[in-house]
Chains A and B, each alone.
Chain A
């Protein structure tokens, strides 16, 4: 069982030691990583994904339950307790969705055939344009690929730690994604530029110049603010769907959606 994950500090882009000794993340915690572009957000979660041992640019080290991970865990996907959705929205594998998921399930030591249907169904909750089992993964759009990989991480990766890099991009239904992965007992880390996601997590890690600048705990006012922002975001989402569905804004719709 994974009950905590520890990040031991490394160095910023100029080679200066980061100003913390360690950050401990407990099972069930949700965390967002925020900061300007290029500040090292992706690098931070990539360190976690690779279970870095001082062998990445940042020189950070990752411990599982206070211990350095064994090399089995680092090299065998079936043992890896971490699933990551990268910023990447392209698949190069010349396989159908079904073949892709099947091989990945095998890599993760899952042999049930139900998992394929479940994963495709879940992915289709996140995207407007449906994904089909015999689509080639190479022709999926950015948003569809994202949706498929998120569903894959949740059900096939099925790991106690889930890392998500900017899920708000690529036009998928992020509210649905957030609902499904909140309150699962997992560690969930969002890299994000989106204030709705950032305010919803229990902790925020602020990045600058390749280093962690601060770790903030969500305060009571922010819980309230997150709720309000979510309502607003849902309204924007509803309008987006209206526009996507070829409708025009009428007075009626204004009253309904902007109220």
Chain B
């Protein structure tokens, strides 16, 4: 089974892109789909209705969706294998910019919208820098020059990433993506690993202290004194 992990900010066009991928491979591969979101998601019902493929959703609730992904992915891969899928597509909620859902196997795709702002790629940290492929969507809404400026920004940030742009509603210029998916290797479930280091997940705020101001807090995070930015917290 091949694995495709699709991440990106809300409304970037992840589902629109996934629909194009399913439309393209529908008659060639058996596909299973999983959506991980925080509180609400409709993709499973939508894709199930439109393509009749096995789908599932998981709500992460209080947990970061990528942390939730790590916890349930083992079971999810097993479920997808059981459905007989050749290709397992996982759509992440992509809200936590410290984590990234990509694994050491399969393909990681980050979806970015052309109208999300020029500085978005650099703000997204590991979600962009650990992806194999970046797909820029909604190119029908901006000028050619602006698209190319955004693409250049991503290239500056991540020179090796495979970059593509598309109108995800029509599925334009995605042949390259389709062939990369086809050529991608089968995953071995036993040694699925996260690609990036997960950030330190607990601090006094995480455990429920509500007081505001650093004096009230202690433990596993510390303030870096002006070294990089005025306020940047890293694990101790």
Contacts and interface: CB of A to CB of B under 8 A. Distances in A.
A157 interface: yes
Interface in A39-72: 46, 49-53, 55-57, 71
B172 A91 contact: no
A153 B146 contact: no
Interface in B169-197: 170-176
A113 interface: no
A108 interface: yes
Contact of B152 (A86, A91, A103): A103
Nearest to B20: A55
Contacts of B175: 53, 55, 71
A85 B143 contact: yes
A94 B118 contact: yes
Given A92-B115, A92-B117, A149 B143 contact: yes
Contacts of B164: 75
Most A CB within 10 A of own CB, among B142, B143, B170? B143
A107 B146 contact: no
B149 A100 contact: yes
B45 interface: no
A84 B144 contact: yes
Contacts of B31: none
Contact of A104 (B119, B142, B148, B155): B148
A88 interface: yes
Nearest to A84: B144
A185 B119 CA distance: 38
A171 interface: no
Interface residues of B, number: 30
Contact of A103 (B114, B143, B153, B163): B153
Given A86-B143, A93-B149, A157-B144, A55 B117 contact: no
A41 to B, nearest CB: 15
A33 B150 CA distance: 29
A12 interface: no
B220 interface: no
A107 B151 contact: yes
Nearest to A108: B148
Contacts of B157: none
A71 B170 CA distance: 18
B210 to A, nearest CB: 34
Interface in B31-60: none
B71 interface: no
A214 to B, nearest CB: 26
Interface string A154-168: 001100000000000
B207 interface: no
Given A55-B170, A92-B118, A107-B148, 10 more contacts: A51-B173, A56-B172, A75-B173, A75-B176, A86-B143, A88-B141, A94-B117, A104-B149, A107-B151, A107-B152
